[in-house]
Amino acid sequence: MWTRMNDFNRMLDAMDRLRSNLNRVYLDYDRSYGDEFGWRTQNGFPRTNLSESGDSFQLIAEVPGLTKDDLNIRIQGNYLELSGTRKSDAPKDYKAQRVERDTASFTRSFTLPSEVDADKIEAVLQDGLLSLSLPKAEAAKPKQISIS
Protein backbone atom coordinates (compact mmCIF):
# COMPACT_ATOMS: atom_id res chain seq x y z
CA MET A 1 0.00 0.00 0.00
CA TRP A 2 2.69 2.54 0.98
CA THR A 3 4.78 1.69 -2.05
CA ARG A 4 1.89 2.44 -4.39
CA MET A 5 1.19 5.75 -2.63
CA ASN A 6 4.86 6.79 -2.82
CA ASP A 7 4.93 5.96 -6.53
CA PHE A 8 1.83 8.10 -7.05
CA ASN A 9 3.37 11.03 -5.12
CA ARG A 10 6.61 10.78 -7.13
CA MET A 11 4.60 10.88 -10.34
CA LEU A 12 2.73 14.03 -9.21
CA ASP A 13 6.00 15.70 -8.21
CA ALA A 14 7.48 14.92 -11.63
CA MET A 15 4.40 16.40 -13.33
CA ASP A 16 4.68 19.59 -11.24
CA ARG A 17 8.36 19.99 -12.19
CA LEU A 18 7.52 19.46 -15.86
CA ARG A 19 4.75 22.08 -15.74
CA SER A 20 7.06 24.60 -14.02
CA ASN A 21 9.76 24.05 -16.61
CA LEU A 22 7.31 24.45 -19.50
CA ASN A 23 5.92 27.66 -17.99
CA ARG A 24 9.45 29.05 -17.75
CA VAL A 25 10.22 28.08 -21.35
CA TYR A 26 7.08 29.72 -22.73
CA LEU A 27 7.59 32.93 -20.76
CA ASP A 28 11.19 33.19 -21.91
CA TYR A 29 10.31 32.36 -25.52
CA ASP A 30 7.81 35.16 -26.08
CA ARG A 31 6.90 37.43 -23.20
CA SER A 32 4.12 39.15 -25.16
CA TYR A 33 1.76 36.27 -24.40
CA GLY A 34 2.40 36.11 -20.65
CA ASP A 35 -0.13 37.19 -18.06
CA GLU A 36 1.64 40.43 -17.21
CA PHE A 37 3.32 41.39 -20.47
CA GLY A 38 2.48 42.82 -23.83
CA TRP A 39 -0.29 44.78 -25.47
CA ARG A 40 -3.47 43.04 -24.44
CA THR A 41 -6.65 44.05 -26.18
CA GLN A 42 -8.57 41.30 -24.45
CA ASN A 43 -8.86 41.49 -20.65
CA GLY A 44 -9.66 45.19 -20.79
CA PHE A 45 -6.92 47.27 -22.36
CA PRO A 46 -6.32 50.01 -21.54
CA ARG A 47 -6.57 49.61 -17.80
CA THR A 48 -8.77 52.31 -16.34
CA ASN A 49 -9.94 53.77 -13.06
CA LEU A 50 -13.28 55.55 -12.82
CA SER A 51 -14.11 57.60 -9.76
CA GLU A 52 -16.87 60.00 -8.79
CA SER A 53 -16.60 63.17 -6.75
CA GLY A 54 -19.89 64.95 -6.19
CA ASP A 55 -20.71 66.62 -9.48
CA SER A 56 -18.17 64.96 -11.81
CA PHE A 57 -16.50 61.70 -12.81
CA GLN A 58 -12.77 61.20 -13.26
CA LEU A 59 -11.51 58.51 -15.66
CA ILE A 60 -7.80 57.66 -15.87
CA ALA A 61 -6.59 55.24 -18.56
CA GLU A 62 -3.12 53.80 -19.12
CA VAL A 63 -2.11 54.41 -22.76
CA PRO A 64 1.69 54.15 -22.87
CA GLY A 65 3.39 55.18 -26.07
CA LEU A 66 0.31 56.80 -27.62
CA THR A 67 -0.07 60.42 -28.66
CA LYS A 68 -3.25 62.46 -28.73
CA ASP A 69 -3.50 61.82 -32.48
CA ASP A 70 -3.59 58.05 -31.79
CA LEU A 71 -6.63 58.34 -29.48
CA ASN A 72 -10.32 58.87 -30.16
CA ILE A 73 -12.83 59.75 -27.42
CA ARG A 74 -16.59 59.82 -28.05
CA ILE A 75 -19.44 60.49 -25.64
CA GLN A 76 -23.18 60.35 -26.04
CA GLY A 77 -25.31 60.82 -22.94
CA ASN A 78 -23.80 58.44 -20.39
CA TYR A 79 -22.04 56.22 -22.96
CA LEU A 80 -18.27 56.79 -23.28
CA GLU A 81 -16.12 55.15 -25.94
CA LEU A 82 -12.33 55.23 -25.88
CA SER A 83 -10.40 53.86 -28.87
CA GLY A 84 -6.89 54.09 -30.22
CA THR A 85 -4.21 52.67 -32.44
CA ARG A 86 -0.54 52.08 -31.83
CA LYS A 87 1.47 52.54 -35.00
CA SER A 88 4.78 50.95 -35.82
CA ASP A 89 7.69 52.77 -34.20
CA ALA A 90 10.40 50.94 -36.15
CA PRO A 91 12.79 53.24 -37.99
CA LYS A 92 12.62 53.15 -41.78
CA ASP A 93 15.27 51.16 -43.65
CA TYR A 94 15.93 48.95 -40.60
CA LYS A 95 15.48 45.20 -40.51
CA ALA A 96 13.62 44.07 -37.39
CA GLN A 97 15.55 41.60 -35.24
CA ARG A 98 12.85 41.25 -32.57
CA VAL A 99 9.33 42.68 -32.51
CA GLU A 100 7.42 42.70 -29.22
CA ARG A 101 5.72 46.10 -29.62
CA ASP A 102 3.54 45.34 -32.58
CA THR A 103 0.90 47.59 -34.08
CA ALA A 104 -2.48 47.17 -32.46
CA SER A 105 -5.80 48.88 -31.90
CA PHE A 106 -8.33 48.83 -29.08
CA THR A 107 -11.81 50.01 -28.21
CA ARG A 108 -13.24 50.30 -24.71
CA SER A 109 -16.73 51.47 -23.87
CA PHE A 110 -18.22 52.48 -20.55
CA THR A 111 -21.73 53.16 -19.38
CA LEU A 112 -21.42 55.92 -16.79
CA PRO A 113 -23.81 56.00 -13.82
CA SER A 114 -25.33 59.26 -15.08
CA GLU A 115 -25.22 61.60 -18.07
CA VAL A 116 -22.37 64.06 -18.42
CA ASP A 117 -22.12 67.54 -19.93
CA ALA A 118 -20.20 66.85 -23.17
CA ASP A 119 -19.31 70.53 -23.69
CA LYS A 120 -17.34 70.72 -20.41
CA ILE A 121 -15.28 67.52 -20.68
CA GLU A 122 -11.54 68.00 -20.25
CA ALA A 123 -8.97 65.48 -21.52
CA VAL A 124 -5.27 65.55 -20.66
CA LEU A 125 -2.61 63.12 -21.90
CA GLN A 126 0.60 63.13 -19.87
CA ASP A 127 3.25 60.48 -19.24
CA GLY A 128 1.18 57.67 -20.75
CA LEU A 129 -1.93 58.48 -18.68
CA LEU A 130 -5.11 59.83 -20.21
CA SER A 131 -7.16 61.78 -17.64
CA LEU A 132 -10.76 62.66 -18.42
CA SER A 133 -12.76 65.05 -16.26
CA LEU A 134 -16.43 64.36 -16.96
CA PRO A 135 -18.78 66.90 -15.29
CA LYS A 136 -22.28 65.58 -14.67
CA ALA A 137 -25.16 67.10 -16.60
CA GLU A 138 -27.38 69.47 -14.62
CA ALA A 139 -30.27 67.01 -14.76
CA ALA A 140 -28.08 64.32 -13.14
CA LYS A 141 -26.88 66.49 -10.21
CA PRO A 142 -28.71 66.09 -6.92
CA LYS A 143 -30.96 69.02 -5.98
CA GLN A 144 -31.84 70.17 -2.50
CA ILE A 145 -35.59 70.56 -2.07
CA SER A 146 -36.74 72.99 0.57
CA ILE A 147 -39.86 72.19 2.53
CA SER A 148 -42.41 75.01 2.90
State what percent of residues in the chain have pLDDT above 90: 29
- What local confidence, expressed as pLDDT, does residue 44 receive? 58
Q: Which is nearest to 62 in space by CA: 140, 141, 125?
A: 125
- Residues in CB range of 21: below 8 A, 6 or more apart: none
Q: Does the bond joining 135 to the residue before it have cis omega, within 30 degrees of 0?
A: no
| Stretch (H or E) spanning 53 | strand 48-53
Query: What mean pLDDT do residues 122-146 have?
Result: 87
∠ CA(91), CA(85), CA(28), 5° rounding? 65
pLDDT at 81 over 90: yes
pLDDT at 96 over 90: no
What SS3 class is residue 23?
helix
More confident residue, 107 or 42: 107
Summary mean pLDDT of the chain: 81
Query: What mean pLDDT do residues 116-136 have?
Result: 93
- The pLDDT tens digits of the residues spanning 56-79 come to 999 999 998 889 999 999 998 889
